[in-house]
Structure 1
């Protein structure tokens, strides 16, 4: 564009000073003719960089999900191929499920065993409650007999004192009373013993053995759920639409649930970021919603329409560690870190495939200096044509 402007300017200079000689071609005019384009081009370039800032570093960034298996085991199947589109929910790989199926069966048996123990404990609780009721009923019956026996002893005692009764009858009545007292004492002891067993109740009103049995059932069911969860983890599914690059996982490999050793890296296709990096003094007029255009090396000659989504006002230089030590500042100034601007691709270009890590360039058109936008758009379109040329000597 600069060359085109200089060419047009040179043509008019030739017409005015050389062809038609409307003005004299002397030292003064020559200095003016040379000075005007220099000042003009410098002014245009400065205004372009302020009102329509350009970036030579535009990147496409995808989310990369490290795939770590939930369980450790031997891989039996890898049904996917590298660098091929994968839909969300498709199987990425499978792990030998036999050890985990055995663990599920063991957990199921433990649950059944705990349920049997609960039935036995509840039966024992009901038996103790029945014994208490029997002891109380027996004690009540003996109490009635004892009252009758005491009455007979009193009657026989009165008759014997008056000489109207036999002493043998009094002794028999006293013996029966003593027997009843002994039986009542035994019934009270039996009731006390059973009540003592029932006194060991939990807050839920259950005997310890019942509470323990229920706790064992809860633990066994939790172990069963954990075993089933591990069994489900033997089949790993794609977390989103995407693809796997550099696939090295093969059947027979032992996959391990170590976060620092993923078995593959899954590249998501959705929610791709397009980021342009700018110097910090170029963003004074850039705001969300501004029009933008980018071009990428993988699509020579293609202008991709975008708009500014947001400016990432943060760099590593803005992070100061909080500690009791003084910050370690360098003896020289660190280079200025650039600010990232996130761009959103317009709907008409969103179906275009953009590989992760693609590089290119572009420009943002602010609401100021709109007369210069056409010049910047020409620059962008001329620049993207150069991507057609592949300069290699091998």
Structure 2
């Protein structure tokens, strides 16, 4: 742009000299240097923060598809780079081992429920036996006390009191045995959960639910709208639930965003709501308009990774900050693929006179996109 304006100035000097308005002298031609300095000081340097510019690209999420269970792939339904809707089936894992696990869990639950029912019946029976033993104990104690009074009055002999004592001891022993049987039945029955269910029955039900959930996880579905790319998964391969061994890469097209990079020195006046213009390489000769949606408050260099080591030293550079852009016409985003790149111009509230220069430059960039490969 400086060269373009300088050539216009030189052409103007040439015309004025031909018209003999200005002398054809060394001083006249040296004024070109003054012109360039003026452009730098009053236009191009202020323009860097009054209307900053930087590279912009379209970003989207790439989800690593990692199944929740391990197993052998039986069928792959997804096709590479074919659009999918949320909930579409991607691939299936051999379900037979998990069906067997469900059957085992169902059998275990039935057995535990039967045991619990038997334990409940045993507890009821031993509780009834304890009640009978306690009743006999009360009767034996009453007879012992009555005969003890008769012995004191000389009505009956002490040998009869000894028999009553033996009956009372037997009744006490029966109560103790019944209480032990009730305690054993309670232990066999086990604890109960907060909602009143028998603990071992609740445990069996939870194991069955886990087995059924694992069976459901043998079918892997698309997490959102998008497509699978770089598809290498095939039937017969084994997949794992380990996060470092994803089965496929799923490109999420449900949300795409424009992210621009602005140098730190130029970002101090950038605020949400400011107008932007974008020249994309995939749309030469066109300009997209929008606004600043958000200035991300951190860069990658500001990230501290938690570890057991001391913070390492590093070469510190002034990394650009990311600015999220919102297009005035959101439908334009559907026409551009993630990874599409371009140049953005942000028009701040400062140095408004420089905005004209930036508008000319961004339009020249848009036209030059027909010829230039890089940014």
Counterpart secondary structure, 2:101:
helix
Partner in structure 2 of residue 220 of structure 1: 204
The match for 1:242 among 206, 212, 226 is: 226
Counterpart secondary structure, 1:207:
helix
What CA distance in whole angstroms lies between the structure 2 residues aligned with 1:154 and 1:8?
Answer: 141
1:211 maps onto 2:210 in alignment = no
8 Å CA contact 1:297–1:358 kept in 2: the answer is yes
Corresponding pairs, count: 367
What CA distance in whole angstroms lies between the structure 2 residues aligned with 1:323 and 1:135?
Answer: 67
Partner in structure 1 of residue 236 of structure 2: 252
What CA distance in whole angstroms lies between the structure 2 residues aligned with 1:283 and 1:2?
Answer: 23
How far residue 337 of structure 1 moved from its aligned partner, in angstroms, is 2.4
What CA distance in whole angstroms lies between the structure 2 residues aligned with 1:61 and 1:103?
Answer: 43
8 Å CA contact 2:275–2:347 kept in 1: the answer is yes
Partner in structure 2 of residue 15 of structure 1: 15
Q: For residues 337 and 150 of structure 1, do their structure 2 counterparts lie closer, same or farther at Cα, with a shift above 3 Å needed?
A: closer
**What's the TM-score, normalizing by structure 1?**
0.81
Q: Where does the alignment leave 5 or more consecutive residues of structure 2 unmatched?
A: 193-197
Q: For residues 151 and 75 of structure 1, do their structure 2 counterparts lie closer, same or farther at Cα, with a shift above 3 Å needed?
A: same
What CA distance in whole angstroms lies between the structure 1 residues aligned with 2:367 and 2:326?
Answer: 23
Partner in structure 2 of residue 167 of structure 1: none
Partner in structure 2 of residue 77 of structure 1: 75
8 Å CA contact 1:304–1:349 kept in 2: the answer is no
Larger radius of gyration between Structure 1 and Structure 2: 1
Deviations 1:52-78 (A, max 9, x none): 1111x2222211211100001111222
Q: For residues 80 and 215 of structure 1, do their structure 2 counterparts lie closer, same or farther at Cα, with a shift above 3 Å needed?
A: same
Partner in structure 1 of residue 49 of structure 2: 50
How far residue 152 of structure 1 moved from its aligned partner, in angstroms, is 7.8
Deviations 1:203-255 (A, max 9, x none): xxx81111169332122112111111111111111112122111111222111
What CA distance in whole angstroms lies between the structure 2 residues aligned with 1:385 and 1:16?
Answer: 31
Q: CA RMSD in A?
A: 3.1
How far residue 2 of structure 1 moved from its aligned partner, in angstroms, is 4.5
How far residue 6 of structure 1 moved from its aligned partner, in angstroms, is 4.1
Counterpart secondary structure, 2:118:
helix
How far residue 321 of structure 1 moved from its aligned partner, in angstroms, is 7.4
Counterpart secondary structure, 1:307:
strand
Partner in structure 2 of residue 124 of structure 1: 122
Partner in structure 2 of residue 288 of structure 1: 272
Q: For residues 46 and 266 of structure 1, do their structure 2 counterparts lie closer, same or farther at Cα, with a shift above 3 Å needed?
A: same
Counterpart secondary structure, 1:123:
helix
Residues 133-144 of structure 1: matches in 2 within 5 Å? Answer: 133-142=131-140
Q: For residues 106 and 320 of structure 1, do their structure 2 counterparts lie closer, same or farther at Cα, with a shift above 3 Å needed?
A: closer
What CA distance in whole angstroms lies between the structure 2 residues aligned with 1:312 and 1:145?
Answer: 91
Counterpart secondary structure, 1:388:
coil
Counterpart secondary structure, 1:383:
helix
Q: For residues 128 and 36 of structure 1, do their structure 2 counterparts lie closer, same or farther at Cα, with a shift above 3 Å needed?
A: same
The match for 2:170 among 186, 210, 213 is: 186
1:113 maps onto 2:106 in alignment = no
How far residue 329 of structure 1 moved from its aligned partner, in angstroms, is 4.6
Counterpart secondary structure, 2:212:
helix
8 Å CA contact 2:276–2:346 kept in 1: the answer is yes
Deviations 1:105-129 (A, max 9, x none): 1111111111111111111111111
The match for 1:309 among 279, 284, 293 is: 293
Counterpart secondary structure, 1:29:
helix
1:373 maps onto 2:352 in alignment = no
